[in-house]
Every structure is written in structure tokens, then in C-alpha cells.
């Protein structure tokens, strides 16, 4: 095991990730349930809520909140805490919308997601398409609240315009053609093709890694950082973003559909290039561990004192079984 993994594992012995994550996810779930209205016209709200609530790892919101806590000042800042919560919900909405669209017959044509029928199976293709569109728009509406909007409470603390703009830019870039959408386009164009490792890494970095990296950086944007700290958090986010997809490639051939909550073996069935198909299972497993070590090293070099949650989330990404 890499020395960075050993050192960080020892330092984290007293940190309880489960307790930390349960407390924060309870807040995220309440916010998502409140902000995704069931009253959207034409039954659209039901499809939106079905796509987002009651399922998923919520890794991206946790990364936002862990990164925010890592860069927070000792005195705290209610406005930046509010911004981080909204960023956590917004990135989950973008993730959920991408899954709704990716599962449709014109894309991956999948029928199972998060242990239940996919949105287009449950509500029809037209409603699924609209639900994804609405979730994407809602993500940016949450990031730019007005004092009199439906998405604020009496206790709302105004978020500085500069923070709102920075969060929108980070999320838009990660979701667009230079991020998630571009990676999905490469994925669709690569079916039946032979990619080299560089091409495969670039596809994974965009398709999955960009939004995970953005989650970390959106949390960091809700605080003050030095250039060194910002760069280290970016390295951390990039490493775990790629590691997540490498582990997904591994689980696609080592786990079953019940365990995964989605269709297992579909990459091989669809003749899609993966780290396992290109380089073999042992290499993919070793590479995931290497990426974990790189992520933990970046945290050590960040100069931040409170990175326990980020470190354990990185280990969760690589060690997960679903």
C-alpha cells in the first residue's frame, strides 16, 4: 500500500464518515425535497422527484460540503454555507438529469437505475426528456436565488453575486461539451472502437470525472483559498473523478445487477471500451489504488487542516462495492 494511504488512514482512525455524511445528507435530502416541487404542470414534478429523491449515493453533494468545510474560516459564514448547500443540490440535479437522458433508448437504453425502473420506463420517453431538461434548469435557478423567489426562506442569507457567478461557471463547464456532455458524445462514438489508454482516460475524465471534480471545486469556491490550495483540491478532484469511473468499469464485470442497482455487464454487452476490456481487471484495480494515493497526496499538500471527510470520501470511491 502507498505510504500516503497508510499515513492518511492512520490520521483518520477517529473520524466517523458515516455519522458525518448522515448528518449532511439529511440536510441535502430535505432541501432537494423542498426545492423539487411536485406541483410542476402535467405531472412533470412527479417525474423530476422520481429521478432525484430516494436513491443514489449522493457522492457529489458530499464532496461539495466536505470541500466547503475544508476551506471554511473558523468564524464561519452563513452566506457561504447557504451557497455550498445550494451547490450540493445543484450538482446532484445535474447528475440526475444526465442519468435520465443517458438511460433513454436513444442513448444507453437502460431499464434499471438505482434499483428501480428508469424514468422513461416509468413515465414515458417524452416526460423523461422534459424531466431532465427541467432538472438542468432548476440546478442553475438554485445557484442564483433572489430574495423574493420560491427557493428562499425567511432565514435566507443573501449570497454574494460573485460567488453565484463562479458556481454557475464551474457547474456549466463541467456539464457541457468540455465536460460531461462531451464525454458522453465520445462514449457513444466509441462503441465497437478500439481506444488507447490516453483516449479512454480522456473520455472518462470528461464523462464522469468533470462533474466530480467540479463538486470539489464548487465547495472550494465557497471559501477563501490560496492558489496552492486551489490547485491541490483540483488534483484531488481529478484523481477521484477518474477513479470513480475506473471502479465503475471494474464493478460492471465483478458485481451483479441487484448489488449495483443498475444493469451489470452492459458495457461488454454494448461493446464499449473500458479499463477492464482494454487493460485487464488486475491493471484496472491497481490503477484505482494509484489514483487514490494521488488524491490523498494532493490533500496532504493542500495546506488544509480539515480534510478528513475528503480523504475518507476518496477511499469510499475506490473501496465501494456498488
What pLDDT does residue 261 have? 66
Instruction: Tell me the backbone φ, ψ of residue 271, rounded to 5 degrees.
Output: 60, 45
Other C-beta atoms closer than 10 Å to the C-beta of 159 total 23
- Do the Cβ atoms of 219 and 85 come closer than 8 Å? no
CATH entry 1.10.600.10 includes domain 3-319? yes
pTM of the model: 0.91
DSSP string, 54-101: S-S--HHHHHHHHHHHHH--TT--HHHHHHHHHHHHHHHHHHHHHHHH
DSSP string, 294-314: HHHHHHHTS--S--HHHHHHH
| CA separation for the pair 57, 74 (Å, rounded) | 29
Whether 118 contacts 110, CB under 8 Å: yes
Question: Taking Cα atoms as reference points, which of 279, 273, 201 lies closest to residue 241?
Answer: 201
State the pLDDT at residue 74. 84
| pLDDT beneath 70: ranges in the chain | 1-14, 147-155, 257-270
Q: What integer pLDDT is reported at residue 94 of this predicted model?
A: 98
Nearest C-alpha neighbor of 247 from the set 59, 28, 88: 59
Measured CA to CA, the distance from residue 183 to residue 185 in angstroms comes to 5
Which residues contact residue 313 at a Cβ distance below 8 angstroms, ignoring those fewer than 6 apart?
Answer: 17, 59, 62, 63, 66, 240
Residue 271 is predicted with a pLDDT of: 75
Q: What is the pLDDT of residue 173?
A: 98
Please give the full DSSP string across 192-226, using - where no structure is assigned.
T----HHHHHHHHIIIIIHHHHHHHHHHHTTS---
From residue 280, how far is each of 208, 251, 253, 289 by CA, in Å?
A: 20, 13, 11, 15
Amino acid at each position: 500500500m502507498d505510504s500516503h494511504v497508510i499515513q492518511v488512514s492512520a490520521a483518520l482512525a477517529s473520524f466517523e464518515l458515516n455519522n458525518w455524511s448522515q448528518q449532511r445528507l439529511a440536510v441535502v435530502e430535505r432541501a432537494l425535497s423542498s426545492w423539487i416541487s411536485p406541483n410542476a404542470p402535467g405531472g412533470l414534478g412527479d417525474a423530476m422527484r422520481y429521478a432525484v429523491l430516494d436513491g443514489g449515493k449522493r457522492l457529489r453533494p458530499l464532496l461539495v460540503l466536505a470541500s466547503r468545510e475544508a476551506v471554511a474560516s473558523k468564524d464561519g459564514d452563513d452566506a457561504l454555507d447557504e451557497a455550498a448547500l445550494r451547490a450540493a443540490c445543484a450538482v446532484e440535479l445535474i447528475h440526475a438529469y444526465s442519468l435520465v437522458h443517458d438511460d433513454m433508448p436513444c442513448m444507453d437504453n437502460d431499464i434499471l437505475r438505482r434499483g428501480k425502473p428508469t424514468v422513461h420506463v416509468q413515465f414515458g420517453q417524452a416526460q423523461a426528456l422534459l424531466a431532465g431538461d427541467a432538472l438542468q434548469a432548476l440546478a442553475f435557478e438554485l445557484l442564483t436565488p433572489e430574495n423574493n423567489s420560491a427557493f428562499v426562506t425567511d432565514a435566507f442569507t443573501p449570497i454574494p453575486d460573485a460567488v453565484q457567478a463562479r458556481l454557475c461557471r464551474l457547474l456549466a463547464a463541467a456539464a457541457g461539451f468540455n465536460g460531461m456532455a462531451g464525454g458522453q458524445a465520445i462514449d457513444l462514438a466509441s462503441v465497437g472502437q478500439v481506444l488507447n489508454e490516453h483516449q479512454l482516460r480522456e473520455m472518462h475524465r470528461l464523462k464522469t470525472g468533470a462533474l466530480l471534480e467540479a463538486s470539489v471545486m464548487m465547495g472550494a469556491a465557497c471559501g477563501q483559498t490560496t492558489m496552492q490550495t486551489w490547485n491541490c483540491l483540483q488534483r484531488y478532484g481529478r484523481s477521484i473523478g477518474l477513479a470513480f469511473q475506473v471502479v465503475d468499469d471494474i464493478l460492471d464485470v465483478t458485481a451483479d445487477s441487484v448489488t449495483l442497482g443498475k444493469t451489470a455487464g452492459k458495457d461488454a454487452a454494448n461493446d464499449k471500451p473500458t479499463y477492464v476490456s482494454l487493460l485487464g481487471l488486475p491493471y484496472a484495480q491497481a490503477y484505482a489504488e494509484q489514483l487514490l494515493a494521488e488524491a490523498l497526496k494532493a490533500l496532504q499538500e493542500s495546506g488544509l487542516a480539515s480534510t478528513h471527510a475528503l480523504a475518507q470520501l476518496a477511499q469510499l470511491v475506490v473501496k465501494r462495492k456498488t
